[in-house]
Structure 1
Amino acid sequence: MRVVFRADASAVIGHGHVMRCLALAEALKKLGAECVFVSRPGGEAAATAIGAAGVPLHLIDAAENDQRADVAATSAALGRRPDWLIVDHYRLDAAWETAIADEVGAVMVIDDLADRPHHCQLLLDQNWHDSPVVRYAGLVPAQCETLFGPEWALLRPDFAAARSQLRPRRPEVVRILVCFGGADAPNATGQVLQVMGELGRRVELDVVVGAGNPHQAGLLDLCAGLPQAHLTVGARDIAQRMLAADLFIGAGGSMTWERACLGLPGITIAIADNQLALSRRLAEAGEGVDLGMLSGDALARLPAVLESMLADPVQVQGMGAALARRCDGLGASRVAQRLYGLRAS
C-alpha cells in the first residue's frame, strides 16, 4: 500500500499536524506500507523528524491560501498513484479534496475543528466530544466512515511502550515538565519561566522546546538564572520525560493525548484557539487545570494554582489516574489497520 500525507509545519501553525501524521506513517510502515510526505517549506524541525523516520519528503511551492495552486503542486508531487492521500491541514477543505480525488485511491482527513466541509472516504477526529456525529453533520459525505475519540489518537509507539512502565508517581510534586510544543511562537515558555522564577520554589523544571524555537537564546538566559531549571532543545525522549515528571505546564493540542497515555496531569495554557475546548473539558472533568488562553490574567493566576497543586499531591495523582483512562497510546496502530481493512474491502 502506498500512502501520501499532506501536512505542514511552521513557527506559526506549530508541528502537531506533521507529528501526528508521522506517528500514523510509522504504524503504516510496520504493516509494510510505503509512506511519503508532501509539505510546504517552513517546518525545518518537522522535516528533520520526517527524515529521521526514514520517510521521503517532497517540498512544494504554493501560496498558503491558494488551494488551486496547492492542488497542482501536490498532484505533481504524488508520484505513483497512492492508495490513500491523508490530509491534515486546517486551510484545505472539500474543494481541494474534490479537485485531487481522481488522482488517488481514497482520501482520509484528520480534523478537529469541524468548521468546513470535506470530500473524503474516512475522517478522524481524535479529540473528546459528546456528540461528534452531530458536529460533522453535513460536513462529510453520507458514505464517509468516521473515527472519533482518543482511542484513535495518533501517538508515536514510544508512548505505548512507556505506558507499560507506568508506576504510581511520587507522593509529592518535585519535577515539572514545561513544554509548549515544537514552535511556541508567542514564547509562552519564557513567560511561564519568568513567573516560576518569582515563586522561589525549589521544584525541578524540565523545560523542553522544539529545535526550531525562535526564542532559544532568551530561554537559555532565563534558565541560567533558575538553578532548578534545565533546558533541552529538540528532545527525542518526551515519553520518558513525561514518565519522570509529576506535573506538566504547557499547551493543549496533541500533547494532551501523549500526557493522557502516561497519566501526567497538567496546568494548560492555550497558545492557539483550537486548544481551548479540549483543555476546558478535561479541567471540568477533574483531569487537569486550565487557565485558558495565554494572557496576563492566565499568568497572574498561575502561582496560586501551582501552589494549590503542590500542597495537594493526592489531588494531582488523582487527576493523572483519571486522565490515563482516556488514551492507551495504540490509536495509530488501530487507524493503520483500519486503512488496510478499507483498502481490502
Structure 2
Amino acid sequence: MGKKVWIKANGNGIIATGHIRRCMTIAKELADLGAEPEFILSDEDSADLLKTLSDEDGVFYNARILHSVFSDPLTDFPALSEILRDEKPDFFLIDSYFMTEEYFNLLSSAVKENSPGTKTGYIDDLCKFDYPVDMVVNYDLIFDESMYSAPVKLLGGEYAPLRKQFSDIEYKVKDSAGRAFLSTGGTDPYHVIGTMLKSVYEERELNRNVPCFEKDISCDVIVGALFEDEYKDELKELAGNHPEIMLHEYVTDMSEIMKDADFAVTAGGTTLYELCAVGVPTVVFSMADNQMEFVKGFDKVGAAKYAGDVREDDKVLRKIVTWGVASVDNKAFRQKMSDSARSIVGRDGAKKIAEAILELT
C-alpha cells in the first residue's frame, strides 16, 4: 500500500473553489507517485463541490466528512482525534485560511497522542504566524522566508500547484488583440463579470461616457462551479444578445481556452498563476482578503496589471476596460507582460510538493 496522505480543504459559495482545486492537483500528483490521498472535509457542501470538480476532471478521490464548521476549525475536534487514532496517516496537509495557533496546538497534541508518526504541512496564503508544521508551502512571488521555522519550506512561484495541462503550452502574442478571457474563479459574489460585460457590450450602445473598444472584442467567459442559477441566467441572456460572448461551464480544457486569449481579466487565485504559465497578458483584481497582497506581487514584477479591490474601489471596472482598450494595438506591451509572466511561475509545482511530502514520510 502507498503512503496515506490526508488533505484538509473546503469549498463553498463563501470561500470559493480555490482551496479544493489546488489540493486536487496535488492529490493527483500524489496518486501518480503511488500515494493514497484522501480529503478531510468539514461538511456536505465541500463534499458536493469535490464531486463536481472531480467529475469535470474525470477523477475520483476518497473523502471523509467531519461534520464540523468550515469557518471554525476547532470544531474538527474530537472527531479528528478519533480518526487520527484509528487511521494513522503518514502526512496531513492543511489548506484553510481559518487556521489559528490554537488549532495547530490542538493538532500537535492530537498527533502526538494518537498518531506520532504523522507529519504535517500547511499551504499558507496569509502569513499570519509561524506555523508549527513539518512543511510549509507559500507560492507567493514575494515572501518572508525568515518567518517560517518549518524544516521544509517550499516558497515562491515555482511551487504553484498547476494542473498538468499547463506544463507545456505554446503561446503567441498577436499584433492586435481581439479575444479576451474573463474569470472570477469558482464564484462571482459581486457580479464583476456581468457588470463588465454590460459595460463593454451594452453601455457603449447607449453612448454613455465609458471607455470602449474600436472593434468588437470576443470574450470567453468562465462560469464558475458555484455561480448562482439566477446569475447564470443573466449571463446567458447577455450571451444571447451578443454573439461575441461565449460562456464556458464545466471546463476541462482551460489551458486551450487561455491559449486562444489575447489578454485576460481575472480575480486573484490559481487562475492567475495558470494564465501566467500560459503567458496571457492579464489585468487582475482582488475580491477577498487573501488575494490582496499576493496579486500586488504580480504587478510589481510586471507579470500582471493590478486594477484594485472590487469591494473598496468603484473605479476598478473602468480601470480594467481602459487597460484593455489601451493594450489592443500595443503588442510590445503585451509581449513584455507575457514574457515576464512565463518567467516567474513554475509548471511542475504540484509534483514538487507531492515529492516533498513523500520524502518526509
Q: Do both share a fold (TM > 0.5)?
A: yes
2:131 & 2:259 partners in 1: Cα distance?
38
Assess if the C-alpha contact under 8 Å between 1:206 and 1:230 holds in 2: yes
1:147 & 1:293 partners in 2: Cα distance?
28
Match of 1:62 in 2: 68
Superposed, 1:1-345 pairs within 5 Å as 1-40=3-42, 41-43=44-46, 44-50=48-54, 52-76=58-82, 80-101=87-108, 102=111, 103-104=114-115, 105-129=118-142, 131-134=143-146, 137=147, 140=148, 142-160=149-167, 163=168, 165-197=169-201, 198=204, 199=212, 201-214=215-228, 215-294=231-310, 295-343=313-361
* CA shift in 2, pair 1:76/1:159, >3 Å: farther
Give the CA deviation at 1:77: 5.1
1:280 & 1:293 partners in 2: Cα distance?
11
1:72 & 1:327 partners in 2: Cα distance?
39
Assess if the C-alpha contact under 8 Å between 1:38 and 1:77 holds in 2: no
2:292 & 2:163 partners in 1: Cα distance?
23
Q: Percent identity?
A: 22
Assess if the C-alpha contact under 8 Å between 1:97 and 1:107 holds in 2: no
Q: Which amino acid aligns with 1:159?
A: F
Assess if the C-alpha contact under 8 Å between 2:277 and 2:346 holds in 1: yes
Give the CA deviation at 1:237: 1.3
SS at match of 1:280: helix
1:222 & 1:12 partners in 2: Cα distance?
25
* CA shift in 2, pair 1:302/1:65, >3 Å: closer
Give the CA deviation at 1:323: 0.5
Structural RMSD (CA): 1.9
Assess if the C-alpha contact under 8 Å between 1:8 and 1:17 holds in 2: yes
* CA shift in 2, pair 1:143/1:314, >3 Å: closer
* CA shift in 2, pair 1:278/1:69, >3 Å: closer
Structure 1: which 5+ runs fail to align? none
Assess if the C-alpha contact under 8 Å between 2:72 and 2:98 holds in 1: no
Assess if the C-alpha contact under 8 Å between 2:134 and 2:151 holds in 1: yes
* CA shift in 2, pair 1:3/1:244, >3 Å: same
Of the structure 1 ranges 41-50 and 30-39, higher mean CA displacement relative to structure 2 is found in: 41-50
Assess if the C-alpha contact under 8 Å between 1:71 and 1:96 holds in 2: no
1:85 & 1:12 partners in 2: Cα distance?
24
1:198-254 deviation digits (Å, cap 9, x = unpaired) = 336411100011122112111111222222001112212111111111111111112
2:171 & 2:70 partners in 1: Cα distance?
45
TM-score (norm 2): 0.87
TM-score (norm 1): 0.91
Assess if the C-alpha contact under 8 Å between 1:265 and 1:316 holds in 2: yes
2:200 & 2:40 partners in 1: Cα distance?
40
* CA shift in 2, pair 1:143/1:186, >3 Å: closer
SS at match of 1:283: helix
Of the structure 1 ranges 182-191 and 67-76, higher mean CA displacement relative to structure 2 is found in: 67-76
Match of 2:208 in 1: none
